[in-house]
Amino acid sequence: MRLEPGSHVAPHLELVSLLRMGGVGSIWTARHLGLGKDVAVKFMSASLATDPTAIARFHREGALMARIKSPHVAEVHEHGVAEDGLPYIVMELLRGEELSDRLARAGRFPLEETVTLVSELCAGLAAAHALGIIHRDITPEHVFLADVGGRTCAKLLDFGVARGDVDPDGTTLTATGTVVGSLVYMSPEQFFNPKQVDGRSDLWSVAVMAYQALTGAPPFEQKGLEALLSAIRIGHFPLPSERCPDVAPALDAWF
């Protein structure tokens, strides 16, 4: 099937326009005729759609996200396969920007906005963790700041490397002991003891983003993999108040 405006992924899904094209796939705006509203449809790239492991992981992402009911996790309506075999995930259509774009533009967040961001992300993670789902790749690129009724609402995206208790067919989601995630935001356990990773690793990643939002830079910026891993392992980083004099020293203890 050719992805283009007007084409139907399924009888109830009509593509409207391309939102984003990337190396692993594309995201389109579509009209969901059953729901009577516009949605976002995420497609796997045709090159990856021949890899059984990639296909299984894509479907697991859709299945896991569909289970999580939280205003701070992007809602998945359904997932399936187009007539030509291309997998897709149908999600709520979000308007706004990724946290990474906001940080690049603003540099730093006021304390009140940072507290709200952390609170909302923790609420989304609490809903996921209650189901035994660990995200494992919390980064600014995987947090969307959505415009909801005139206010900003943080939503978690991309559960592509998430780990759950089991997937729908009863198998484990990823190989035990596999290191996954984005280096700067990963917890020590994700590097050095991946079999023991649990929800606390996601909270570590949120704390790294909170530090970055307050100070304008992530806590760990060492050059070279060995130096970076060593700093993360021992927790060696400048205190926020040392980096930014306008950050209250009382906040240092939280980190």
Residues acting as catalytic residues:
137
Distance CA 13, CA 41 (A): 9
Distance CA 151, CA 176 (A): 40
* CB contact burial 11-39 (16+ within 10 A = b; e otherwise): eebbbeeeeeeeeebbbbebebeeeeeeb
Bridge partners of 32? Answer: 13, 37
Distance CA 119, CA 218 (A): 19
CB count within 10 Å of CB 209 equals: 25
Are 8 and 16 spatial neighbours (Cβ–Cβ below 8 Å)? no
Are 135 and 122 spatial neighbours (Cβ–Cβ below 8 Å)? no
Backbone conformation region of residue 103, classed left if phi is above 0, alpha if psi is from -120 to 50, else beta: alpha
